Structure 1
Amino acid sequence: MTQTEKLTWRTFVPEDFERAAVLLGRTWLSEFDGAAQRAASQIELAHYLSQTTWSLVAERAGEILGVVLLSERGQEVPEGAGWAELEVRLTRAAEKDDRLAEAVRVEMDGVREEAELEREYASEDPEGADATVKLLIVSPDAKGLGIGGRLFSAALDHLRETGARGYHLLTDDSCDFGFYEHKGLTQARRRRSRAYWPGVDPAADEFYVYVYEQRL
């Protein structure tokens, strides 16, 4: 039996939250120390889950190796209010510690900037506005297993089954958006970032956020 065959594929459940947040922090927030990474990753994940209508998790032996979250226009968000409340509670708790509050502000400033670009994109009602890939993340421990591709393909199969005209996602220069171009997505919007991104000096470097889209 191969490593891939040992994988379990299932819907995200609340009990996954802590482990998925750790994966997000390890992958995207390595510039932060342990406590700051934990606070910022939990708040960011709760934010995405508050908008999630469909999800898929790849798990092996109790370890989460990958997650994809979709937000579909006009669809019900299961437990969305609960995740939004958790985001507020976690943010208030982090604000009691200046160091944690700063880490959360830095991370969520980037999330908010991407959301602004997304609203600009969606205002013209393109086909890609029917759905958003809110999160696609794969553990560094799962390299070579094809988990990212399988998660992505499953999400697109779901969107086709529900009749979505297209979808989009937000990304930035810190990510390997070549993966999305390889999957057939095209760049629909680009904006030079005004936010501070860890490891990037906005006064000296050009750092962009993007909308990528694809018709179905």
Structure 2
Amino acid sequence: MKQETILRKMIPEDYDSILVLVINTWDYRSWVPNNLVAPMADFFLSDLLLESDDVFVAQIGDDIVGIVATGLVDQTNIQKISTRKNISSLEKILRITEPDSIFLKYIQTLEINEFLLEKSQKNYDAGLNLLIVKEEFKGLGIGGLLYNHFYDYLKQHQAENFYLFTDNSSDYQYYEHKGLSRVAEKKYYWEPGNNDTLEIYYLYEGKLNLSD
């Protein structure tokens, strides 16, 4: 018997399941030292959740199979501005204390996101901070359910446009299929001079038709 997919607000008890989902989705164990896998994924997830106003999960039975996190952009939000300043300061500290660490390189990729936003010279009403579907549940329409929730949330708040960050190792074609446009990109070498470690980071934008 096919089980129903339930969309609901994230609760604190979901956090550990979502953390595992993050680790598996971005294959942390293949590029992060064992003792840093959980802390780095924790930093990534908590950073995104701090910037999010609306977080919903998809659940089938007892299994969390997806998550979508939305952040409304408020230039006066001191908490969000402080988060970005915190990352910038952390990057400077790591350059001095841990110049060859994988964590420093990860922080540098977060700063690329801010660079892409500045490069676009555009103002957005919201951001799609996170959209994940568990690998074995892809193709069942769960991503569409989560994305539609995100879209409806933006319409409720009269958002006319939004942005998201992705990269060439992710399923960025999904967003192009949804009608989003790539507006900026930047290359990053995890090992300088090694083409095999090249990753390209993208900024995409979407627009809403509020008359629908």
- Tell me how far 1:106 sits from its aligned partner: 3.2
The ranges of structure 1 where at least 4 consecutive aligned residues each deviate by more than 6 angstroms after the TM superposition are none
Aligned to 2:41: 41
Comparing 31-40 and 166-175, the one that deviates more: 31-40
Question: What TM-score does the superposition give when structure 1 sets the normalisation length?
Answer: 0.77
Question: What TM-score does the superposition give when structure 2 sets the normalisation length?
Answer: 0.78
The residue type equivalent to 1:41 in the other structure is A
- Tell me how far 1:201 sits from its aligned partner: 6.6
Do 2:112 and 2:186's aligned partners in 1 also have CA atoms closer than 8 Å? no
Structure 1 residues 1-216: aligned runs within 5 Å: 1-3=1-3, 5=4, 7-28=5-26, 29-31=28-30, 32-74=32-74, 102-121=101-120, 123-125=121-123, 129-193=124-188, 195-196=189-190, 203-204=194-195, 206-216=198-208
- Relative to 1, partners in 2 of residues 1:203 and 1:132: Cα closer, same or farther, differing over 3 Å? same
Q: Aligned residues, how many?
A: 192
- Tell me how far 1:44 sits from its aligned partner: 0.3
Q: SS of the residue aligned with 2:195?
A: coil
Q: SS of the residue aligned with 1:10?
A: strand
Structure 1 regions of 5+ residues with no counterpart? none
Distance 2:20 2:34 in 1: 10
Structure 2 regions of 5+ residues with no counterpart? none
Distance 2:2 2:193 in 1: 45
Distance 2:61 2:35 in 1: 26
- Relative to 1, partners in 2 of residues 1:188 and 1:66: Cα closer, same or farther, differing over 3 Å? same
Distance 1:34 1:57 in 2: 27
- Tell me how far 1:113 sits from its aligned partner: 1.5
- Relative to 1, partners in 2 of residues 1:34 and 1:203: Cα closer, same or farther, differing over 3 Å? closer
- Relative to 1, partners in 2 of residues 1:63 and 1:202: Cα closer, same or farther, differing over 3 Å? farther
Do 1:133 and 1:167's aligned partners in 2 also have CA atoms closer than 8 Å? yes
